[in-house]
Structure formats: structure tokens, C-alpha cells
Amino acid sequence: MTQVPAGWYPDPEAPPGYTPVPRWWDGEHWTDRWKQPAAPPSGRTTPDGRWLAGWWRRVLGAVVDSIVGAILGFLVALPVQVEYQRMVQAEGERLQRRLAEGDDAAFGDYWQAILTYTADHWVGLLLIPFVAVAAYHAGFLKWRGATLGKLMLEMRVEPVSGAGPLRWQAIALRIGVQFGLVWLVLIAGVLVGDPGPLAVGYVVVVVVWLADVLWAAGPRRRALHDLAAGTVVVRTR
């Protein structure tokens, strides 16, 4: 190889049956420098070789998106939220006075007043924030294939059938299963106007949320909303 320019070439001294590792040829001799192949990212892959995002990575991305969604939901409902906080503060002061007087029904009346106010303003307190959060997820999934949390943690949502843009139908199913059922249960519990059904609603929300989150830790790394929408979450790096 005296006429071969310096560079990386398959090691001619590799043992039989082994794939030769690139070795540096200095133009005259083989050196003791070998280029080790880059280690593949840890985790499972789709059948066509796309690396699936790990569970913890997805959870951290969801935390970021939850913070973004909470801020967005609060801002779009700000006028109602200001009045709501005033009402809560006034009811809190009334509760303290009644407790000081030994009124045993104070706590029940306090929570009933808050629940009644929430039911009377459910559109501003619940529906509009949900629409804003859903629009945030839908817009980013269609535009970038990922929400801000996923972009920050180098993930992307793709059809399970292959890499490519998401269809609106898949996006709607994904958001509906991930958020729609939870918000529907909460809104229904509030509109009933009774603390009992609302408490049951919260239990249902927690169960659904845990099932969705834990399902993503399974061998296929697909949450319930992935299964419904026919999507996977893959690593971009």
C-alpha cells in the first residue's frame, strides 16, 4: 500500500470472521490507531430502525409541556382567573370568621361556594384553557412534529408506519386520548355541582393519566395516545 494516500482503511490484520475496524494508514505503514465505531444510542428501535425515545426522556418532555400549557392556560383565562382569586380570598375570609364562631358547616359551605362559582364560569376557567393547550400541541405537532418539550429533549412524533409529517386525524386522536378524556371528566364533575362526583372525576383522571404514562414504559414504548393515533416518539439525536 505504499502508493495509497494516508487515511482510514479496513484493518488487514483483523481476525477472520470479524468486521475490520478502520485503522489509520500514514501513507507508508499501518499505525496503532483504530477508529472505534460510534456506540448506538441506548434503547429500542422501530422495525425500520428508528430509535425510540426512552421513558424518562418522554416524562421530562411532558413536564416541560405541562409548564408551558399551565402558563398558556392561565394567560388565556386571566380575566376570569383574577375574579376567581378574589372570590376565593373572600370565601376564605368568611370561612375563618365562621370557624371562629364555631360553625360546623363552614367547610362544606366554603367548598360548595367555590364549586358553584367554578361551574358558573366553566367556559373561562376550563374550556378555553383546554382549547388553548390543545391548539398548542396541535400546532407544534403539525409544524415541527414535536412540542417544545420534545424539541428541547431531541424527540419527534412520527407515524408508526414510517417517518413523515403527521396527519390532522392522528394529531386529533393523540390529543383527544391524552387530554380530551381528562378535561371532559373534570368539566362534567364541575357541572354536576356536587363535591362527590367531582372527587370521583379526579380519581378517574389520575387513573387515566397513570395508565397513559406507564404504558409508554412498555416494550413498545408507546403510550395509550400513541396507540390510538398510530404514532411513535423517536429520538432525533
* pLDDT averages per 10-residue partition of the chain, 237 residues: 77 72 84 66 71 93 95 92 90 91 87 87 90 96 95 93 87 93 83 78 84 88 94 90
> Residue 234: what pLDDT?
92
> Residue 153: what pLDDT?
95
> Residue 133: what pLDDT?
94
Residues 138 and 208 in one domain: yes
Given the C-alpha cell 382569586, which residue does it identify? 85
Residues 155 and 200 in one domain: yes
Residues 134 and 71 in one domain: yes
DSSP symbols for 159-188: ETTSSSPPPHHHHHHHHIIIIIHHHHHHHH
> Residue 162: what pLDDT?
79
> Residue 150: what pLDDT?
96
Residues 146 and 192 in one domain: yes
Strands 7-10 and 22-25 come out as antiparallel
Cα angle for residues 19, 25, 28 (degrees, 5° grid): 140
Residues 60 and 27 in one domain: no
| In a domain? residue 150 | yes
> Residue 236: what pLDDT?
86
Cell of 167: 396527519
| In a domain? residue 208 | yes
Domain that includes residue 9, residue range: 1-34
Contact (Cβ atoms closer than 8 angstroms) between residue 229 and residue 171: yes
Compute how many other C-beta atoms are within 10 angstroms of the C-beta atom of residue 134.
Answer: 19
| In a domain? residue 165 | yes
> Residue 203: what pLDDT?
86
- Report which secondary-structure segment, H or E, holds 212: helix 195-215
Residue 7's beta-bridge partner residues? Answer: 25
Distance separating alpha carbons of residues 141 and 120, to the nearest angstrom: 33
| In a domain? residue 24 | yes
Distance separating alpha carbons of residues 28 and 175, to the nearest angstrom: 62
| In a domain? residue 112 | no
Contact (Cβ atoms closer than 8 angstroms) between residue 166 and residue 137: no
Q: Using DSSP, state whether 31 is helix, strand or coil.
A: strand
> Residue 173: what pLDDT?
95
| In a domain? residue 94 | no
pTM more than 0.85: no
Distance separating alpha carbons of residues 82 and 75, to the nearest angstrom: 11
| In a domain? residue 136 | yes
Which residues, in sequence order, are CB contacts of 93 under 8 Å at separation 6+?
none
Residues 4 and 65 in one domain: no
> For the chain, how many structural domains are there in total?
2
Residues 30 and 133 in one domain: no
Residues 17 and 60 in one domain: no
